A and B are shown apart, each in its own frame.
Chain A
């Protein structure tokens, strides 16, 4: 397979998760990503440990996000380092960063300046809240954007107060949007030869994630978002949509006609809800009936009945159960990456498959600045950073 982004060189100034997750995706699709890091610490997420896990001197998240990249150490406040970086950009296809507004301008690395060095450059940037408005200088951090954007009123039950989504969802989506914008501009560059500026903010990404619920809120004339008191899985969906406790675990039920569910489960009171509108308007009482009923038997017993009848349901799994399941093995989601010093670690792969093949990469995470000499050497000999 020819990986689709082969020969694309990305110079990436970003740190933490949003930008680096975008360059990881493009690296896995075949691009060469050079991470510009400031010595002596580099990308701050090298030492942003989660659950205190350290792997070969860096945090587990840093490895997850930055494998399959090169690292070039440069202190952008030093003119010499800056000149090297500019030379690198002259041979690049994409430049990206996630500094707060104004930083790249002060360094002379903003889009208009880069365009002079490389007219067809595709320049991507992620901000927290856009470049205007009262929040523009607020820290662009995932939990903060979740809080401000209304996202915390969607998960959990009605009496819980705000419930954050327990993954850095806004960072990841902002990165994913940036990838789309950059790739779209590279498609255009192929046709017209022009570069482009791609801008994404975390707050816009959070709004886009909520495009369905926000549109509902607008159409609903601003009725407050209402989660159910129990078994909430989506504030705007009717019963039975939710997760239910069984005798020995939990079962997820998607949208299914309530009376049919009643018949299949032997739960007589449910068979009376024949009007589909009642599945939304009377969802609290329907969920209550269902909750009591589902506790009486095991998950496997319920699945035995429901799956045969093609009812949309699934067991709720934890990672150990998921990872020992043949359904997970069939995906071949894991891969091993090896660093230049021989350290190896397990991680997940790119979720996109091309021409029937998985986009795997065994290249590990770069040590801070480890590729600097090689890149400079190549620049000298080829006036181009290719290796």
Chain B
């Protein structure tokens, strides 16, 4: 049995962060019902990356909303609102990512929902929390990255601030929401109590930096310093970083420099026998190593370094990675099938339970496609 079977989640979320939490809960066995505004639905239906659409919805929408149902309701209509209140009475979890104040105006804030269903786990995602000067700022991934200091950690010393090239804030915050929801469900079983869970994108990205921020808070507030070339992590010592080889790129993780010098034939770095220098003289060490590494092909280096148990790897692009036996052994991709007969390849839930992989071929729902069936199942007056 999947762990979350019989759990009903009402998802009043759009875009990425909230729906990614719904996706994880769905893959772990929950029944996730997206409540969407009629005619347009989740704005993510029309938000495409690289302009990829399939049967009227963006590929992205299916990626994040596969394995869910859709219930159309106009929250501005008293009639529909009443239906939603009936659904709330039957649900275990409600998630929403409206800006602060919106749910209150709709009469769907926690204080109003709790009397309808005291056991509900009421969960909210905001951009910046419910107070402070940023509370009404748009909670968008790149903006959060920019404000959080994260952009000064990647890239090299002289590069401009470098964001993570994917929706990291949304991803993290969706995960944190899921963690909070699951913890509250565990407590509910024991105590009968419902819960209110709150996460916000900015807090999630601060948490993400917990190791380096803790270092910063206790080292007298030194700015992070990226390496001049091949930076892998602003706070880690040589040889940590990226190196160009004759035909590609190689990464070297943390390891003993003297041994690495011997294995690579990089005489210049064998003299650094004081570990403090591995950080303090990182740039000159990286430069010496880069010169040696550039002289041979990636494969040649791996043949020398891997048997010596030096932590290294080839840098791959998607083409190479996806064709590799190491990727294929994961059975990471799955097909989702649309009603039109078309299909999309996407990735599966990354968690194995009881040795089982959880696949689901169910696409993102047709807008309002499950409204009638849900009304009937829960005897909701229409």
| Cβ < 8 Å to A, chain B residues 166-181 | 166-168, 171-173, 175-180
Q: Which of A49, A180, A346 contacts B182 (CB 8 A)?
A: A180
SS class, residues of chain B in contact with chain A: mixed
Asked if A184 contacts B345 (CB within 8 A), the reply is no
In the complex, which range does the number of interface residues on chain A fall in?
35 or more
Q: Verify if B9 is at the interface (C-beta below 8 Å from A).
A: no
Q: Given A4-B195, A51-B279, A147-B314 in contact, is the A348-B165 Cβ separation under 8 Å?
A: no
Pick the interface stretch among A76-84, A202-210, A260-268, A377-385. Answer: A202-210
Please measure, in the bound complex, the distance between the C-alpha atom of A234 and the C-alpha atom of B205, giving whole angstroms.
17
Q: Verify if A23 is at the interface (C-beta below 8 Å from B).
A: no
Q: Verify if B117 is at the interface (C-beta below 8 Å from A).
A: no
Asked if B147 contacts A315 (CB within 8 A), the reply is yes
Q: Which residues of chain A have C-beta atoms less than 8 A from B65's C-beta?
A: none
Q: Given A50-B235, A154-B166, A187-B3 in contact, is the A179-B179 Cβ separation under 8 Å?
A: yes
Q: Verify if A318 is at the interface (C-beta below 8 Å from B).
A: yes
Binary flags per residue of A136-160, CB closer than 8 Å to B gives 1, else 0:
1011011111111110111110001
A323 to chain B, nearest CB (A): 8
Q: Which of B183, B197, B226, B352 contacts A200 (CB 8 A)?
A: B352
Q: Which of B168, B206, B241 contacts A351 (CB 8 A)?
A: B206
Q: Which residues of chain B have C-beta atoms less than 8 A from A204's C-beta?
A: 330, 332, 350
Asked if B197 contacts A352 (CB within 8 A), the reply is yes
Most buried by A among B251, B312, B345: B251
Nearest residue in A to B229 (C-beta to C-beta)?
Answer: A161
Please measure, in the bound complex, the distance between the C-alpha atom of A82 and the C-alpha atom of B300, giving whole angstroms.
43
Q: Which of B132, B326, B333 contacts A326 (CB 8 A)?
A: B132
Asked if B129 contacts A331 (CB within 8 A), the reply is yes
Q: Verify if A356 is at the interface (C-beta below 8 Å from B).
A: yes
Q: Given A51-B222, A153-B317 in contact, is the A167-B253 Cβ separation under 8 Å?
A: no
Nearest residue in A to B134 (C-beta to C-beta)?
Answer: A327
Q: Which residues of chain B have C-beta atoms less than 8 A from A280's C-beta?
A: 50-51
Q: Verify if B367 is at the interface (C-beta below 8 Å from A).
A: no
Q: Verify if A386 is at the interface (C-beta below 8 Å from B).
A: no
Q: Which residues of chain B have C-beta atoms less than 8 A from A60's C-beta?
A: 211, 214-215, 218-219
Asked if A163 contacts B155 (CB within 8 A), the reply is yes
Asked if B195 contacts A50 (CB within 8 A), the reply is no
B72 to chain A, nearest CB (A): 25
Please measure, in the bound complex, the distance between the C-alpha atom of A167 and the C-alpha atom of B190, giving whole angstroms.
37
Q: Given A163-B162, A168-B211, A318-B223 in contact, is the A133-B155 Cβ separation under 8 Å?
A: no
Asked if B132 contacts A331 (CB within 8 A), the reply is yes
Asked if A144 contacts B251 (CB within 8 A), the reply is yes
Q: Given A50-B236, A211-B63 in contact, is the A326-B133 Cβ separation under 8 Å?
A: yes
Q: Verify if A376 is at the interface (C-beta below 8 Å from B).
A: no
| Cβ < 8 Å to B, chain A residues 32-57 | 48-53, 55
Binary flags per residue of B343-361, CB closer than 8 Å to A gives 1, else 0:
0111101111111000000
Q: Given A155-B162, A211-B347 in contact, is the A164-B231 Cβ separation under 8 Å?
A: yes
| Cβ < 8 Å to B, chain A residues 205-258 | 205, 207-220, 222, 224-225, 227, 232-237, 241-243, 245, 250-255
Please measure, in the bound complex, the distance between the C-alpha atom of A253 and the C-alpha atom of B146, giving whole angstroms.
10
Asked if A185 contacts B203 (CB within 8 A), the reply is no
Please measure, in the bound complex, the distance between the C-alpha atom of A30 and the C-alpha atom of B191, giving whole angstroms.
14
Count, A-B residue pairs, CB within 8 A: 492
Please measure, in the bound complex, the distance between the C-alpha atom of A218 and the C-alpha atom of B60, giving whole angstroms.
12
A202 to chain B, nearest CB (A): 10
Asked if A153 contacts B318 (CB within 8 A), the reply is yes
Q: Given A164-B231, A180-B178 in contact, is the A188-B1 Cβ separation under 8 Å?
A: yes
Asked if A163 contacts B52 (CB within 8 A), the reply is no
Asked if B326 contacts A225 (CB within 8 A), the reply is no
Q: Verify if B246 is at the interface (C-beta below 8 Å from A).
A: no
Q: Which residues of chain A have C-beta atoms less than 8 A from B280's C-beta?
A: 52
Please measure, in the bound complex, the distance between the C-alpha atom of A312 and the C-alpha atom of B326, giving whole angstroms.
40
Nearest residue in B to A134 (C-beta to C-beta)?
Answer: B325
Asked if A144 contacts B206 (CB within 8 A), the reply is no
Pick the interface stretch among B74-82, B136-144, B259-267, B368-376. Answer: B136-144
Please measure, in the bound complex, the distance between the C-alpha atom of A185 and the C-alpha atom of B355, giving whole angstroms.
13
Please measure, in the bound complex, the distance between the C-alpha atom of A130 and the C-alpha atom of B330, giving whole angstroms.
7
B215 to chain A, nearest CB (A): 4
6 A-B residue pairs with CB within 8 Å: A197-B353, A216-B49, A222-B319, A241-B142, A330-B132, A331-B128
Using A234-B167, A280-B51, A334-B217 as known contacts, list a sample of 15 further A-B pairs with CB atoms less than 8 Å apart, ordered by residue number in A: A143-B233, A144-B311, A164-B251, A181-B351, A192-B1, A233-B142, A236-B49, A312-B143, A317-B147, A320-B221, A327-B133, A346-B218, A348-B213, A354-B180, A354-B183
Which residues of A approach B to under 8 Å, CB–CB? Answer: 2, 4-8, 17, 25, 29-30, 48-53, 55, 60-61, 63-65, 129-130, 132-136, 138-139, 141-150, 152-156, 160-169, 172-173, 176-181, 183-188, 190-192, 196-201, 203-205, 207-220, 222, 224-225, 227, 232-237, 241-243, 245, 250-255, 277, 280, 310, 312-320, 322, 325-331, 333-334, 345-356
Task: Please name the 4 residue pairs, one residue from A and one from B, whose CB atoms are nearest each other, closest first.
Answer: A330-B132, A133-B329, A154-B165, A166-B153
